[in-house]
Chain A
Amino acid sequence: MAGRRFILGALFTLALAAAAGQAVAQPCLIFVHGKQTDTNTYTSYTSARNYWVNGTHDFVKTATKNFATPYYVVGYNGTRPYWEAQSAGEVANEIVAATNGIADGGGHRCTKTYAQGGTFWIIAHSMGGTVMDWILGNNDASDPNFNFNGPYDQVAQRASMVITTGGAHRGSQGADAVCLQGNVLCSFIAIFIQSCDDATYWLRSSDDVQVRTYANAPAKTIWLTAGYEAIFGSSACLNGEDDGVVQYASSFACSGSATASYDNTNVCNNSNKQEASGFANLDGAAENHSDERDDSDSDTRRAVPTGIWTCSGVTCAPNTVVQSSMTTARFISILY
């Protein structure tokens, strides 16, 4: 694996050089939101769309280069466990619909369908990452929960890749704190999570609720970026760097304990993920859990081990500041 990764790294470097100055076609971006405290994003397109908005800041607008790139916004029931029909099943059905050129609730559609040769990038935040792990890890007839409640196989075939921002791949210590109901400092987390509902219960860091316990390696690569801007109070409950809700061990899908303490210098590399393949690092951002999905905090970005940024032709040393002011939405917009 290590040898293969080296070769791929070299290929990537060569590709970077070869691609300079070339015009490229655009994928369709499909947005999958995170945990919710009510069912509004499931019943209202406006709520699902506004998940990505904060005042004048709009993640979708920035990631799509001022709407120049086609997009589709998914809405599902974010109060249900990641594996249920109204969460994973709904997400899978909507992604397939998007790849067939069907419009989302706001009338936005992927202009080039899968049948027409289109490509589709899934952008998922927080619990949206867990949902995508589940779908893409159960897409094959040999997987433990193949097509459990939706067309996972079609999603896996049609999705080109997934990019997660603050993905709760190994759960959240914020969810642990809310369900434990013990630490006063952790009450700040209630701003985001509020209660130990069914979705929260299944986002804890315990092995028995982890998505990796019930899924195989994802069929398509899940690229990982995470926030390290702590939130006063709640971050006291999280180990290592975190975005106030999800700790690095989870947002970078690390193997081992979901509560291990990591930072930009030592977070797990691409050979030490929760699955043997299918997860790869991008970078870390000085954003909190909200900033990651609403484009409101253009701040520092730093390299992480086996990340995407190159310095003088090689992967930048971990913790190197690679951008002084760039949101995750903007970062995604420069990847295509």
Chain B
Amino acid sequence: MSILNRLAVTSLGLCALAAPVLAQAQIPAPDAGAFARHAAAEYRQLARYPESSRVLAPGAIDPIREKRMPTKQTVRGPEGTASLSVWASKVSVEVGKPVDLFAQISSPARPALPLEVTGEIANAAGIVAQVTYHDDGKAPDVKAADGIWSVRLAMPAGLEPESAESYMVRVKARLLDGDVRESAGGFLYSNPAAHLTGRYRDSIVDGNLVIAAQVDVKEAGRFHLAGTLYTLKGEPVGTAQAAAQLQPGRQWINLSFYGLMFHDRNVAGPFRLGSLAFSTTSRMPNALNDLVENAYVTKPFKLAVMTARPFGDVKLLDAAARLEAE
């Protein structure tokens, strides 16, 4: 361990004095074999559903929507001083649409007001744009002097990617006291090869609820569709996903929501397709279409038409059996 490490350890050790440290000398180690059986039990639960469609627990968040919601990247200042958070309005922005960029200085101890906030947008080739953020209440800034600085970026012409490209947003905030904070976020600039047309239809197939979505394909490729089904009261019920190789033209992709989820949650239709994420996945990074919310409401269904039979994923059941035999 280096001297630096020892300093850090000492520091941690002092902090630990205040922690609820316990007299644990006799805490037993996890039992050999029990860990494997625990994993096996989890697999037996998961095996009730196909990997393409899973039930959500009551109160669970919508995982499809969650993945498309931008998050803040925060860099803290030294010793509890002001931190800088940056984020974009979308995880991915489609070619031809603007993206809004935000920055916020936060200081729990004392106010730390930025004097100016600037940003550089860069890809692997270098800087492609520079922006100046404002906190003046003019769009896209929501409220003047609320500490959230904003700028709307239209990507320069000529940067349209073949599929998608990642852009890093390097932000610098100069504070009134002369300090500088820097943080980095980013967004995906996407050029999807297909779009949802807005046409949907539903049916029951083998006891499962199948929602078909029509897509308009301009270039052949591989495409992925994922959706979350809600009750009309707004409770997420379950998810389904599908992928397909499609040729140009209007095509349909089927999302099959496994029937058992409706029994497990004891809910019958009609249902709302609350979030729908479409993407072109022929190459990496994938090109992501904008998330579609509240895309469709199904017909009403009786619970009896849905299968109550566990799927029995043979791969998971086999894995469970092997672990149990360990």
With A and B bound together, what is the CA distance between A308 and B182 in angstroms?
38
Question: Contact: A142 with B72, CB < 8 Å?
Answer: no
State A228–B12 Cα separation when bound (angstroms): 9
> Is A169 an interface position by the 8 A CB rule?
no
Would A142 and B243 count as touching, CB distance under 8 A? yes
Do the beta carbons of B36 and A232 come within 8 Å of each other? no
Contact of B71 among A117, A207, A233, A261 (CB under 8 A): A207
Contacts of A260 in B (CB 8 A): 74
For A230, what are the chain B residues with a Cβ–Cβ distance below 8 Å? 8, 11-12
Q: Is A92 engaged at the interface, CB distance under 8 Å to the other chain? A: no
Q: Write the A235-257 contact mask toward B (1 if CB under 8 angstroms, else 0).
A: 11101000000000000000111
Of the candidates A24, A160, A275, the one whose C-beta lies within 8 Å of that of B63 is: A275
| CB-based contact A324/B25 at 8 Å | yes
Indicate if B208 sits at the interface (CB-CB under 8 A).
no
Report the bound CA distance from A182 to B74 in whole Å. Answer: 14
User: Known contacts A8-B41, A255-B66, A319-B20; is A308 also within 8 Å of B281 by CB?
Assistant: no
Which of A108-153 touch B at CB < 8 Å? 117-119, 139-146, 148
Contact of B42 with A by CB under 8 A: yes
Residue of B nearest to A237 (CB): B75
Tell me whether A25 is interfacial, beta carbon within 8 Å: yes
Return the chain B residue nearest A148 by Cβ.
B284
Contact residues of B between 57 and 77, Cβ < 8 Å to A: 57-61, 63, 66-67, 70-76
Contacts A161-B39, A316-B27, A317-B20: A231 and B67 contacting too (C-beta < 8 A)? no
Q: List the A side residues contacting B56 at CB < 8 Å.
A: 1, 276
Distance between Cα atoms of A161 and B42 in the complex (Å): 11
Q: Does A205 contact B (CB under 8 A)?
A: yes
Interface set, chain A 282-299, CB cutoff 8 A to B: 286, 288, 291, 296-297
Chain B 276-326 residues near chain A, CB threshold 8 A: 279, 281, 284-286, 288, 315-316, 318-319, 322-323, 325-326
CB distance from A313 to the nearest CB of B (A): 10
A255-278 vs B, CB cutoff 8 Å, 1 = contact: the mask equals 111111100000000010001110
Partner of B284, one of A25, A83, A176: A83
Give bound CA distance, A110 to B31, whole Å: 23
Are the C-beta atoms of A204 and B12 separated by less than 8 Å? no
Give the interface size bracket for A toward B. 35 or more
CB contacts under 8 Å to B, within A178-234, are: 179-180, 182-183, 185, 188, 201, 204-209, 212-214, 216-217, 219-221, 223, 228-233
Q: Closest CB of chain B to A263's CB: distance in Å?
A: 9
A27 within 8 A of B: yes
Q: How far is the CA of A220 from the CA of B279 in the complex (A)?
A: 24
B185 within 8 A of A: yes
A223-B325 Cα distance, complex, nearest whole Å? 20
A322 and B24 contact, CB distance less than 8 A: yes
Sample 16 A-B pairs with CB under 8 A, ordered by A number: A8-B38, A84-B284, A139-B51, A156-B315, A157-B319, A179-B168, A182-B182, A216-B51, A228-B12, A236-B78, A260-B74, A296-B1, A311-B22, A320-B20, A321-B24, A324-B25
What is the interface of chain A, defined by CB distance below 8 A to chain B? 1-4, 8, 11-12, 15-16, 18-20, 22, 24-27, 81, 83-84, 117-119, 139-146, 148, 156-157, 160-161, 173, 176-177, 179-180, 182-183, 185, 188, 201, 204-209, 212-214, 216-217, 219-221, 223, 228-233, 235-237, 239, 255-261, 271, 275-277, 280, 286, 288, 291, 296-297, 300, 308-311, 316-317, 319-324, 334-336
